[in-house]
Chain A
Amino acid sequence: GENVEQHPSTLSVQEGDSAVIKCTYSDSASNYFPWYKQELGKRPQLIIDIRSNVGEKKDQRIAVTLNKTAKHFSLHITETQPEDSAVYFCAPDTGRRALTFGSGTRLQVQP
């Protein structure tokens, strides 16, 4: 099965700084790489995803970069705001079964 690791497990930044969360996976057949955000007490929601034929994707202040050779992908958040405070989950997918979610990264943006 897929082994997924996220780093760091917790991250605290000052408002306006950038945050980077890294996800490593083991299955080289993985071809879809989403990131989900879960605010406190709420349900997870997809914020950005990337397919294996693309190296980088950006959507306003968030971006995802993919390194298939090294089997990792990262979430980048620039100009962080307090509302970015949440737990972020990666979920690399091979298409053969349901997603395997990482253990999550708790991001705290200090105002």
Chain B
Amino acid sequence: GAGVSQSPSNKVTEKGKDVELRCDPISGHTALYWYRQSLGQGLEFLIYFQGNSAPDKSGLPSDRFSAERTGGSVSTLTIQRTQQEDSAVYLCASSLAGPSYNEQFFGPGTRLTVL
């Protein structure tokens, strides 16, 4: 079946503009995660959705970042008033249930460049 997909694959924007990144998880996966990966760096946790529970937003770096997940499926990560330090690859992952004992399947990522 189809894996996790993300769009766009690349996004170039100007400082101060808002951007929206989209993630389509694997069908039937109840858990969805957003991570950020700067060049040559590790995976920085941003936000985690699990079913109908309130999302874990503890990783969001500032109030310019927000995310929603509609209908328990597609998720959108929004970055308002983008800054140059927001430039990174944004990875989405999904898993069948919560993180324990469940493999996370990653999407190809969206490479965001803020000029």
A positions within 8 Å CB-CB of B: 31-32, 34, 36, 43-46, 49, 51, 89, 93-95, 97-104
Mark interface residues in B30-66 (1 if CB within 8 Å of A CB, else 0): 0001010000011101001000000010110000000
Chain B residues within 8 Å of A89, by CB: 42-43
Q: Which of B1-57 contact A (CB under 8 A)?
A: 33, 35, 41-43, 45, 48, 56
The answer on a CB contact under 8 Å between B106 and A99 is no
The answer on a CB contact under 8 Å between B43 and A44 is yes
User: Known interface pairs A43-B91, A101-B42, A103-B42. Does A95 touch B106 (Cβ–Cβ under 8 Å)?
Assistant: no
Chain B residues within 8 Å of A95, by CB: 98-100
Report the 6 A-B pairs with minimum CB-CB distance, sorted nearest first: A98-B48, A95-B100, A43-B106, A101-B43, A103-B42, A46-B103
User: Known interface pairs A95-B98, A98-B33. Does A34 touch B43 (Cβ–Cβ under 8 Å)?
Assistant: no
**26 A-B pairs with C-beta separation under 8 A:** A32-B99, A32-B100, A32-B101, A36-B104, A43-B106, A43-B107, A43-B109, A44-B43, A44-B104, A46-B103, A46-B104, A89-B43, A94-B100, A95-B98, A97-B48, A97-B56, A97-B99, A98-B33, A98-B56, A99-B33, A99-B45, A101-B35, A101-B45, A103-B42, A104-B41, A104-B42
Q: Say whether chain A's binding surface is mostly helix, strand, loop, or mixed.
A: loop
B108 interfacial contact with A, CB 8 Å = yes
Bound-complex Cα distance A104 to B38 (A): 12
* Most A C-beta atoms less than 10 A away, residue of B43, B48, B58: B43
Bound-complex Cα distance A80 to B108 (A): 26
Bound-complex Cα distance A101 to B93 (A): 13
Chain A residues within 8 Å of B106, by CB: 43-45
Bound-complex Cα distance A102 to B99 (A): 15
Tell me the minimal C-beta distance from B50 to chain A in angstroms: 9
Instruction: List 8 additional contacts besides A32-B99, A93-B100; criterion CB under 8 Å.
Output: A44-B91, A46-B103, A49-B101, A89-B43, A93-B99, A99-B33, A101-B35, A104-B41
